[in-house]
Amino acid sequence: MILSPAKRERPYGFDMTPMIDVVLQLIIFFLFTSQLSQVIRSPIDLPEEKGDEQQLVAPGGVVIDVSGEGGYLVEGEPRSLEDVVRLVSLEQEHAKAVGQPLDLLVRADKACPAQFVNILAARLAAVGARQWRLGTSVPSGNGGTP
């Protein structure tokens, strides 16, 4: 009589450790990149007005901040009016080449005199950027409605 050696049963399955590592790295990456886009914006006291609470721009969009003293900032960096207009013009040409409209957001401080926003609007219109949004903050409470 021939006796066969005892067969060991192998547990079936796979190691989940590499998959968990990859998922955690992706979560960290997306959390970091979503927060980075908010860090670039400079703190500005926006006027309170009803509207969209989220002030997001599409990828490739431009956010122009107008400080209380009338200075212009793009991505937190102070720029001259000519630099801002040149940047918007280049981004608009790029958006047309891709076949997408340019997403342009102007965030003006409450204390900023209107003349600086009007000058910016006139210069943007001169280069063909006639559609842009003005950033506001949604008032707390009932929004001043009776």
Q: What is the pLDDT of residues 10-21, one digit of tens each?
A: 667 778 888 999
Q: What is the pLDDT of residue 70?
A: 87
Confidence of residue 146 (pLDDT cuts 50, 70, 90): very low
Counts of helices then strands in the chain (DSSP H, E): 3, 5
CATH of the domain spanning 43-134, picked from 3.40.1710.10, 3.40.50.620, 3.30.420.270, 3.30.390.50: 3.30.420.270
The chain-wide mean pLDDT, for the chain, equals 79
At residue 117, the 3 state secondary structure works out as helix
Q: What is the pLDDT of residue 144?
A: 47
Q: CA-CA distance, 123 to 139, in Å (whole number)? A: 30
Q: How many CB atoms lie within 10 A of CB 81?
A: 14
Lowest mean pLDDT segment, chosen from 4-8, 95-99, 112-116, 127-131: 4-8
Q: Where are the domains of the chain?
A: 43-134
Bigger pLDDT: 39 or 55? Answer: 55
Residue % of the chain over a pLDDT of 70: 74
Q: What is the pLDDT of residue 131?
A: 85
At residue 95, the 3 state secondary structure works out as helix
Q: How many CB atoms lie within 10 A of CB 104?
A: 20
Sign of torsion, CA 104 110 114 116?
Answer: negative
Q: CA-CA distance, 115 to 81, in Å (whole number)? A: 13
Q: Which two tokens stand for residue 85?
A: 């207009």
Partners of 48 in beta bridges: 137
Measured in Å, how far apart are the chain's first and last C-alpha atoms? 99
Confidence of residue 31 (pLDDT cuts 50, 70, 90): confident
Q: CA-CA distance, 67 to 60, in Å (whole number)? A: 22
